[in-house]
Chain A
Amino acid sequence: MAYGEKVLDHYENPRNVGTLDKDDTSVGTGMVGAPACGDVMKLQIQVGANGVIEDAKFKTYGCGSAIASSSLLTEWVKGKTLDEASQIKNSDIAEELALPPVKIHCSVLAEDAIRAAITDYQGKQTATIEKKSA
């Protein structure tokens, strides 16, 4: 299969590969997909006191388009508020990377990953507040 230039660029030079401390309360972790299906995406965000995403890291097991989708996503979410980040649509990713129809599921997975990371982060905050008020 021929890949688009942007997919190749992200695949060959993936941005923000790495891991943040998943136990840190300022970190939200989203892991989506399944090994049996051929792709697993792990996306982590570090959120500042002002609710802005300061850092993002990813690791992905999957095809080139899945790697590119998650790499692009980390670039996009940095500097965004949680609210803004949750607005990112899979179609935006698919369009930016010019994904062919058979690879759209990779961008869907990326959208799932950022939502899961935000949910995880928000869950931690609620838990912290509950702990404090208890």
Chain B
Amino acid sequence: MSELKLPIYLDYSATTPVDPRAAKAMMECLTNEGNFGNPASRSHSFGWRAEEAVEEARKNVAALVNADPKEIVWTSGATESDNLAIKGAAHFYSKNGKHIITLKTEHKAVLDTCRQLEREGFEVTYLEPESNGLVDMDKLKAAIREDTVLISIMHVNNEIGVVQDIKAIGELAREKKIIFHVDAAQSPGKVPIDVKDMNVDLMSFSAHKIYGPKGIGALYVCRKPRVRIEAQMHGGGHERGMRSGTLPTHQIVGMGEAFRIAKEEMASENERIRSLRDRLLNGLNDMEEVYINGDLDQRVPHNLNMSFNFVEGESLIMALKDIAISSGSACTSASLEPSYVLRALGRDDELAHSSLRFSIGRFTTEQDVDHAIKVIRQAVNKLRDLSPLWDMYKDGVDLKSIEWAAH
């Protein structure tokens, strides 16, 4: 048995380390001895070789999601892909209407882009998910208007890991002739993706959530039927005019390798990760007053989001200095802000404040999980001993019956 390495990384949804195989491929595209050419150089072999590597990577990214390589546009990451897709499609199709539908639990890259479009005169409907985090199809149908030009719904939620029924939404959007964008930053390698079967028009990808490097992503732009977007970055007309800028060969090769590995290994990897997640869940679930946030079945195996009632999230994270995890509570200002995702599920602020997101990945071991269970139980017990709310709960006091002085 290998030795336990502290701190334990359980924040794979924030970012992942680059897979050594991807890192090796990247390093071969940097130095004078390597494949350093500009892929856009047409007049010499340095450019041709770089272009070849870029196109090989494009094939690998496309293959994981059943796209045609020609439908993949390189970007700097999922945030840029979201911006390009949403602004690009909204602007291009604005003559047909100026209404957009999205979800309250989307990533800020989608929500903030929609806010910007509102400032430009678009109208946006922010759908509320059900309490399990999933979209209700009837509510989505009801939100569609004559002038709806774009629906943007994420595939896998970054905080609670729930998986939306993209195929059902895609069918509806196609039927209503509405452009459908999917933020899939969190899903490749975790759930199967088939852009054709799912009727997706635009899909955002990131490399660093799937063991590729940071600073590179892609946007799938459907060619059949042809989906049009207005470029947001102008210049040399790279990527068929949709995204100008010299292609970073090493980044692209890293992303391509990461997607290639994911396609090859995701089935067995996900099985292993699911058993680790269940181990973690079983190790914590018998504690009193713990709640799982988001649907447990319609969820990627990598994610566990739990609220430990009567314990405040930031102090809990402070007690868990051996474990790298995220809290649903950002206690950084006088007005403490619990996670907007958990709030959108209708979770009480208290429960949102006491939530932790565990995300498990390629290099997590059973030992890691067992150690995490041990220290979490210790920390929760310690903090509950310190918590006046826990005492009140134990005394049978209904906390909702008390008039708290909000501050």
Give the number of chain A interface residues (Cβ < 8 Å). Answer: 31
Q: Chain B interface: which size bin?
A: 20 to 34
Q: Is A109 an interface residue (CB 8 A)?
A: yes
Q: Is A49 an interface residue (CB 8 A)?
A: no
> Contact partner of B405 among A14, A32, A42, A66, CB < 8 A?
A32
> Contact partner of A37 among B313, B336, B388, CB < 8 A?
B336
Interface residues of A in 86-134 (CB under 8 A from B): 102, 104-105, 108-109
Interface residues of B in 313-333 (CB under 8 A from A): 313-315, 318, 329, 331-333
Q: Is the CB of A61 within 8 A of B406?
A: no
Q: Give bound CA distance, A41 to B390, whole Å.
A: 12
Q: Is the CB of B404 within 8 A of A34?
A: yes
Q: Give bound CA distance, A11 to B312, whole Å.
A: 13
> Contact partner of A63 among B312, B349, B390, B406, CB < 8 A?
B312
Q: List B contacts of A82 (CB < 8 A).
A: none
Q: Is the CB of B349 within 8 A of A36?
A: yes
Q: Is the CB of A60 within 8 A of B314?
A: no
The interface centre, meaning the residue of B310, B353, B385 with most chain A CB atoms within 10 A of its CB, is B353
Q: Give bound CA distance, A38 to B338, whole Å.
A: 8
Q: List A contacts of B42 (CB < 8 A).
A: none
Residues of A near any B CB (own CB < 8 A): 1, 3, 11, 14, 17, 19, 31-42, 59-64, 66-67, 102, 104-105, 108-109
Q: Give bound CA distance, A104 to B331, whole Å.
A: 12
Q: Give bound CA distance, A27 to B354, whole Å.
A: 31
Q: Is B389 an interface residue (CB 8 A)?
A: yes
Q: Give bound CA distance, A35 to B350, whole Å.
A: 6
Q: Is B143 an interface residue (CB 8 A)?
A: no
Known pairs A36-B348, A37-B336, A61-B312; list 4 more (Cβ under 8 Å). A34-B405, A37-B404, A37-B407, A105-B334
Q: Is B391 an interface residue (CB 8 A)?
A: yes
Q: List 9 A-B contacts (CB under 8 A).
A: A14-B386, A19-B391, A35-B353, A36-B353, A39-B312, A63-B314, A63-B318, A102-B333, A105-B334
- As a 0/1 sequence over residues 147 to 189 of chain B, the CB contacts with chain A under 8 angstroms (1 = contact) are 0000000000000000000000000000000000000000000
Q: Give bound CA distance, A61 to B329, whole Å.
A: 14
Q: List B contacts of A34 (CB < 8 A).
A: 404-407
Q: Give bound CA distance, A66 to B316, whole Å.
A: 13
Q: List A contacts of B267 (CB < 8 A).
A: none
Q: Give bound CA distance, A39 to B331, whole Å.
A: 10
Q: Is B399 an interface residue (CB 8 A)?
A: yes
Q: Give bound CA distance, A82 to B333, whole Å.
A: 31
Q: Give bound CA distance, A19 to B387, whole Å.
A: 11
Q: List A contacts of B348 (CB < 8 A).
A: 36
Q: Give bound CA distance, A31 to B407, whole Å.
A: 13
Q: What distance in Å separates the Cβ of A13 from its nearest Cβ neighbour in chain B?
A: 11
Q: Give bound CA distance, A112 to B334, whole Å.
A: 15
Interface residues of B in 357-407 (CB under 8 A from A): 385-391, 399, 404-407
Closest 10 CB pairs of A and B: A34-B404, A38-B336, A36-B349, A42-B388, A59-B388, A63-B314, A35-B350, A61-B387, A105-B334, A64-B318
Q: What distance in Å separates the Cβ of B41 from its nearest Cβ neighbour in chain A?
A: 47
Q: Is the CB of B318 within 8 A of A35?
A: no
Q: Is the CB of A59 within 8 A of B318?
A: no
Q: Is B26 an interface residue (CB 8 A)?
A: no
Q: Is the CB of B318 within 8 A of A11?
A: yes
Q: Give bound CA distance, A11 to B338, whole Å.
A: 22
Q: List A contacts of B86 (CB < 8 A).
A: none
> Contact partner of A35 among B314, B331, B335, B399, CB < 8 A?
B399
Q: Give bound CA distance, A59 to B386, whole Å.
A: 5
Q: List A contacts of B389 (CB < 8 A).
A: 35, 40, 61
Q: List B contacts of A61 (CB < 8 A).
A: 310-312, 386-390
**Please, which residue of chain B has its CB at the minimum distance from the CB of A36?**
B349
**Please, which residue of chain B has its CB at the minimum distance from the CB of A12?**
B319
Q: What distance in Å separates the Cβ of A91 from its nearest Cβ neighbour in chain B?
A: 15
**Please, which residue of chain B has its CB at the minimum distance from the CB of A8?**
B318
**Please, which residue of chain B has its CB at the minimum distance from the CB of A70?**
B386
Q: What distance in Å separates the Cβ of B331 from its nearest Cβ neighbour in chain A?
A: 5
Q: Give bound CA distance, A49 to B313, whole Å.
A: 41
Q: Give bound CA distance, A73 to B300, whole Å.
A: 45
Q: Give bound CA distance, A63 to B399, whole Å.
A: 19
